[in-house]
A and B are shown apart, each in its own frame.
Chain A
């Protein structure tokens, strides 16, 4: 099952990688901190404004924690993308955990299957320009987000 969606700015399909993607494992808590730092560097390199950098890093922090806590660990691939008009940062989180049974429910504010606040998915979706979520019990969960420079 997939929930997708390109944000109002669209153009996701045409975006191409503008640098070498970096892959980082998310296995222990300190990996979440490292993911934040790598996403920050990429956001600076893509010339995102300070507010947009902060939104992207915050979204990445939520998603990396989800990968660790709910997905049982996984990885993230971070790269800088270019759609011909502007640059952005893309982060793709993958895990081979149990998957999300009800994606619509998981994207509802305040709903949590665990001990969290239920803002990880729904909140990070609001912080980025593009958000795609795929999940199944066989393949685990993949979340792809992009934040574009303005």
Chain B
């Protein structure tokens, strides 16, 4: 069975949906993400849907389920890249996706997750070992304190 690749990037998991989603494929992605969050200790999940030309109620529900599930596993989910026509259609369809956070672009999504993780690290001493995983893309908490992932701080 075909699967959607899940990439690990620092302490994030990155998924870019590039195919027309069959229902089975969407369900596999939910399962794969749950396993990978636990296996990697990821703190964030970023799902790029910029290649999806429609989001119907099934895919909408998949995104809600992933968000709820990752929350239970102590990771935040951000969906990025929704096309304007898709957003208009979702509103008319009447689908709301509780718990799904969105950002317009990959950069904004990364910044949102970076900020989340940093706040959690200062609040939660248990997570320090996770956040210090090698390859973490987090900015070190410096004096500026406002740097976001993906920003070059000169």
A binding-site residues for B, Cβ under 8 Å: 29-30, 32-33, 36-37, 40, 50-51, 53-55, 57-58, 61-62, 65, 109, 116-117, 119-120, 122-124, 126-127
Contact with A along B50-94 (1 / 0, CB 8 A): 000111111011000000000000000000000111101100111
A-B CB contacts (within 8 Å), total count: 70
Q: Pick the contact of B57 from A29, A55, A123, A126 — CB < 8 Å? A: A123
For B88, what are the chain A residues with a Cβ–Cβ distance below 8 Å?
Answer: 51, 54-55
- Shortest CB–CB separation between residue B19 and chain A, in angstroms? 9
Alpha-carbon separation in the docked complex, A33 to B93 (Å): 19
Q: Would you call B24 and A54 a contact (CB within 8 A)?
A: no
Please classify the interface of chain B as helix (H, G, I), strand (E, B), loop, or mixed, using the class held by over half of its residues.
Answer: helix
| Cβ 8 A contact of B22, one of A30, A62, A109 | A30
B20 on the interface (CB 8 Å rule)? yes
Assess the A40–B23 pair: CB atoms within 8 A.
no
Count of chain B residues with Cβ under 8 Å from any Cβ of A?
A: 23
Contact with A along B8-40 (1 / 0, CB 8 A): 000000000000111110000000000000000
Q: A residues within 8 A CB of B104?
A: none
Taken together as a complex, chains A and B put the C-alpha atoms of A33 and B60 apart, in Å, by 16
